[in-house]
Amino acid sequence: MFKFKPVFKKRKYITLKNAVDKIENKEEVAPNIPGGMWIKCNTCGNIMYKKDLEDNAKVCTSCGKYYRMNAKERIELVIDTGTFREIDRDLKTVNPLDFPQYEDKVAKSKEETGLEEGFVAGYGKIYGKDVVIGVMDSNFMMGSMGSVVGEKITRAIEKATEERLPVIIFTASGGARMQEGMYSLMQMAKTSAVVGRHSEAGLLYIPIITDPTTGGVTASFAMLGDIILSEPGTIIGFAGRRVIEQTIRQKLPEDFQKAEFLLEHGFLDKIVERKELKKTLYKIVDMH
Ligand SMILES: [Zn+2]
């Protein structure tokens, strides 16, 4: 079957992104918010003014579906206004394996996201409490973990260990960055080791696993928290569902790899509503 792409680029009328048409193949519908002033929820069909959705922490005002947030929005969600100070912004990604078109992909992601890499870290305050916060941005090459992402995570945690601060990291990742091959895989060991040292120093580390977190990130620092939080409906896994089904030749449960399923099976400590997240983090940090 042929599928035609629209010829007209500029529309003069208000557009409604209707993801319901594509819902048959659910996995291909990324719940990002498209351009335009209005948005139709791809779960319940509710039509919202885009600003209302953004004011509601990107949660559908009708059915409560969670839309993805970028790094900047995450920081704004939990960090006191004006207290965020970014660290290690200037680390540059190189192409260690001379992987074809890798530089182009990185350049494109930089342009689209306004970020230097798929991880942003810095100091900030949560209701006046000092923390080190890091956020992966799934819009930057699917939040994949290359050498620079791994290095930035490591440095952020090392700084927190030195200054005896708690670390909070939002994860969102497609896994290791294939364009960096073995260098990407080594980041799993490196980030895990630094989390270990932070813990040995008696300090707190809270990962918040957001949609989607998979692959080498799940298999390293995302799952090594003292208290592991997540959001409703988040997909968390290592290998993809289809790969597992084909390998074990069995049908997996419907809610497999969903945060609720993982909570029930002891992989998560709590699923926290977005609106409650800042308060929850404050309580944990304060208790510690
Ligand atoms: Zn909805």
Residue 274 CA to ligand 1 center (angstroms) comes to 15
Residue 36 CA to ligand 1 center (angstroms) comes to 17
Phi, psi of 209 (to 5 degrees): -90, 115
41 labelled as ligand-binding? Answer: yes
Residue 40 CA to ligand 1 center (angstroms) comes to 8
At 221 the three-state DSSP class reads: helix
44 labelled as ligand-binding? Answer: yes
Alpha-carbon distance 148 to 90, whole Å?
10
Residue 127 CA to ligand 1 center (angstroms) comes to 31
Place of tokens 């996995």: 27
pLDDT of residue 4: 57
pLDDT of residue 36: 73
CA end-to-end span of the chain: 58
Q: What confidence tens digit (pLDDT) does each residue in 62-75 have?
A: 999 999 999 999 99
Q: What confidence tens digit (pLDDT) does each residue in 99-134 have?
A: 999 999 999 999 999 999 999 999 999 999 999 999
105 labelled as ligand-binding? Answer: no
Q: What confidence tens digit (pLDDT) does each residue in 9-23 have?
A: 555 555 555 444 443
Helices (H), the chain: 50-55, 71-78, 102-113, 147-162, 181-200, 215-218, 241-248, 259-264, 277-287
208 labelled as ligand-binding? Answer: no
Q: What confidence tens digit (pLDDT) does each residue in 192-213 have?
A: 999 999 999 999 999 999 999 9
Q: What confidence tens digit (pLDDT) does each residue in 35-52 have?
A: 678 889 999 999 999 999
Question: DSSP labels for 57-94?
Answer: TTB-TTT-PBPP--HHHHHHHHSPTT--EEE-TT----
Alpha-carbon distance 281 to 288, whole Å?
11
Alpha-carbon distance 229 to 168, whole Å?
10
Work out the pLDDT band at 30, boundaries 50, 70, 90: low
Domains in the chain, CATH or no CATH each: 1-67 (no CATH), 71-287 (3.90.226.10)
CB 188 within 8 A of CB 216: yes
Q: What confidence tens digit (pLDDT) does each residue in 248-274 have?
A: 999 999 999 999 999 999 999 999 999
Alpha-carbon distance 36 to 54, whole Å?
13
* Share of residues in the chain with pLDDT > 90 (%): 84
pLDDT reading at 154 higher than 90: yes
